[in-house]
Amino acid sequence: MTTDVARISDAEIVARQHAVPRAFGRPLAERLSIVSGWSAFAGLIVFCLWHMDFTPQRLWQGIWKLGWLAQLMFPPWHGGWLREFSYAMLQTLAMAFLGTLLASLGAVPLGFLGARNVVPQWLFHFGVRRIFDGIRGVDALLWALMFVNVVGLGPFAGVMAIAVSDTGTLTKLFAEAIENVDRRPLDGVRASGANRLQVMRFGILPQVLPVLLSHILYFFESNTRSATILGVVGAGGIGLQLADRIRVNNWDEVGFLLLMILLTVSLIDQLSKTIRRRFI
Amino acid sequence: MVPHVADPHTGVHGTVATFEQTWRVINRAKWAKIAIFGGVFLLAVAGSMCVSEVSISQFVEGLPGFIAYIRGTLPIIAVDHIGTDIAEWYWGIGRWSSLLLDTLLMAFMGTLLGALGAFTLCFPAARNLTTHGWTPAVCRRLLELFRTVPELVFALIFVYAFGLGPLPGVLAIAVHSMGALGKLFSEVNENITAGPGEGVRAAGGNWMHLVRYAVIPQVLPNFASYTLLRCEINVRASSVVGFVGAGGIGQELYSVIRQFIYVDISALVLLLIITVALLDITCEHLRRRLLGEQAFT
């Protein structure tokens, strides 16, 4: 059926509008809720700006001061501390490496315990998962702060902080990887008379090992980033030097340290990309 | 046909001998590889332990201390007056919840500003949308710089420039999020279908029209999803930038830990964990609604 548009009557239009009201615009209630939603959003933003003291004057002063700092940072200069800085960078890398290593050593058995298909008791793996969710919810920097209280200032606190916080995350990832294994090799190993430990060793481990390795490598990469800041709370490495230089206003050295961090992080990125392409 | 050659040592004939020969060669190569990589690995472990001043004895000594520390932070809650005990544990709940709200607002504003910045930079940074020779490269380097420098370092510098309070924290989170989101956004832009863009160009649209009518409708759900994901991350980040004086619950936590007020540490950490978990669930739910279920399976 075709309708001649030129001869359509007003009554017909009204009838059509009643038949399919949504084609001609949103109903009033919906429009109101959209408008009120957006105005609540805008109101929240205005409240935040007011509450956090975002005055134009303060912003302007801060930006002016930032420009001044950027000028001071240029040209970056190590100020005769090149050896100390390099050693601190090495320390940061060592912290990331040892932290990741400890975390993965801990997370492999815990991941098995947290996997549904290894431990069929649901309460147990549920409990393991929730505990590690809790550990994961606490940032590495917070762990570092607590470890500084326990073992004192220095890179050891940083290593422990990375190890503990990553054990939480890696356990979750490992448990998920283990739950996703193909069942058939397990059945095969079991059918040939293997006990539970042997099923894990010959049925599960060969399947999940590449996944675990790639997770570990990724975590090493991200830990080099997070290890750079652990020093700010006193856990050693390049962050300690950086926070010190900011405190004493040696901005050319701050610039140098920032460049060092950028360079090292991108180097590690490249390295892990190469390793991943070649081995995994 | 495999020649039936007898092995000079064992006198075994034929294919078995060749098989064992090959197997031995392969096995030897495998063990050599394991030895080399294992050696490098052990060397790296030893070097790291030396540089980061870690020893096994220190580790063994440190661990019980840490467990004792954690146990010290736990409150004493007796079953017969559980209500008063919990009330005493959370004695500062009024002030803490307002600080927690500050932290959440910092995360919100930081994400919003960061997403806005990323939104403006992601179109010139996408290789398929920009024809200028150097524009994408410059935008990309800038975003890379923003996401490689950690939030906390930005916060340290901004606290110096803008003074104490949530403002430098918000800006630090915004700058870092801008780098991280800008990369993701520009990758989304690079994955769009070219058809709608060609249509806009054929109808005589300029670059702004292209972005508005061909790109944004395709990418907006993904942008929103990434922004929500970033919001989750930023809640954690905003609790941490407080450590260097950028306000919120982080500042309180820092002072409580530094002053060894044990019971408050566990109260604040638990509060933080619960908040983060609740937000994670909410954001996940929102993202599912935005992208539809099929994106998650």
Nearest of B141, B116, B117, B122 to residue B186 by alpha carbon? B122
- pLDDT, averaged per 10 consecutive residues of chain A (280 residues), comes to 71 84 81 92 92 88 91 84 90 93 92 82 81 83 88 88 91 89 89 89 89 89 89 88 89 91 90 81
Closest-CA distance, B7 to chain A, in angstroms, reads 34
- The rounded distance, in Å, linking the Cα atoms of B147 and B180 is 5
Distance of CA A232 to the CA centre of its chain: 19
Put simply, the answer to whether A94 touches B157 (Cβ < 8 Å) is no
Closest-CA distance, A66 to chain B, in angstroms, reads 6
Residue type, B179: G
pLDDT of residue B34: 92
Picking from B69, B112, B162, the nearest residue to A150 by CB comes out as B69
- The rounded distance, in Å, linking the Cα atoms of A82 and B4 is 68
Put simply, the answer to whether B105 touches A226 (Cβ < 8 Å) is no
pLDDT of residue B236: 86
Picking from A58, A69, A258, the nearest residue to B149 by CB comes out as A258
**What confidence category does residue B5 fall into, taking pLDDT thresholds of 50, 70 and 90?**
low
pLDDT of residue A280: 63
Distance of CA A102 to the CA centre of its chain: 19
Put simply, the answer to whether A98 touches B108 (Cβ < 8 Å) is no
**How does the average pLDDT of chain A come out, rounded?**
87
Residue pLDDT, tens place only, A167-218: 988 998 998 888 888 888 889 999 999 888 888 889 888 889 888 988 898 8
pLDDT of B287 strictly over 90: no
Give the up-direction half-sphere exposure of residue A267: CA atoms within 13 A in the CB hemisphere: 9
Put simply, the answer to whether B62 touches A151 (Cβ < 8 Å) is yes
Q: Hey, which residues 127-166 in chain B have their CB within 8 Å of chain A? A: 145, 148-150, 152-153, 156-158, 160-163, 165-166
Closest-CA distance, B5 to chain A, in angstroms, reads 36
Length of chain A: 280
- The rounded distance, in Å, linking the Cα atoms of B38 and B44 is 10
Closest-CA distance, B243 to chain A, in angstroms, reads 8
Residue pLDDT, tens place only, B38-49: 999 999 999 988
| CATH architecture type of domain B92-296 | Orthogonal Bundle (1.10)
Q: State the best of B45, B48, B49, B175 to mutate against chain A, taking most chain A CBs within 10 Å.
A: B48
Contacts of B240 in chain A (CB under 8 A): 139, 141-142
- Longest CA span, chain A: 89
Domain ranges for chain A, please list them.
Answer: 1-54, 82-279
- The rounded distance, in Å, linking the Cα atoms of A158 and A179 is 31
- Flag whether the ipTM exceeds 0.90: no
**What confidence category does residue B7 fall into, taking pLDDT thresholds of 50, 70 and 90?**
low
CA A227 → CA B103, B245, B260, distances in Å? 23, 20, 24
- The rounded distance, in Å, linking the Cα atoms of B84 and B76 is 11
**How does the average pLDDT of chain B come out, rounded?**
86
Q: B4 versus A7: which is more confidently predicted? A: A7
Q: Hey, which residues 267-296 in chain B have their CB within 8 Å of chain A? A: 269, 272-273, 276-277
Put simply, the answer to whether B273 touches A236 (Cβ < 8 Å) is no
Share of chain A above pLDDT 70, in %: 98
Q: Which residue has the tokens 């005769």?
A: A80
Residue pLDDT, tens place only, B187-241: 999 888 889 989 998 999 888 999 999 999 989 988 998 998 898 889 888 988 9
- State the average pLDDT over residues B157-163: 91
Q: State the best of A141, A172, A226, A269 to mutate against chain B, taking most chain B CBs within 10 Å.
A: A141
pLDDT of B297 strictly over 50: no
Give the three-class secondary structure for B204.
coil
Classify domain A82-279 by CATH number: 1.10.3720.10
Task: Report whether the peptide linkage leading into residue A75 is cis, meaning its omega lies within 30 degrees of zero.
Answer: yes
Nearest of A163, A123, A204 to residue B52 by alpha carbon? A163
- The rounded distance, in Å, linking the Cα atoms of B261 and B89 is 12
pLDDT of B20 strictly over 80: yes
Picking from A53, A66, A160, the nearest residue to B167 by CB comes out as A53
pLDDT of residue B259: 87
Nearest CA in chain B to A146: B257
Residue pLDDT, tens place only, B56-68: 787 787 788 888 8
- Read off the DSSP letter of residue B134: S
Domain ranges for chain B, please list them.
Answer: 15-54, 60-89, 92-296
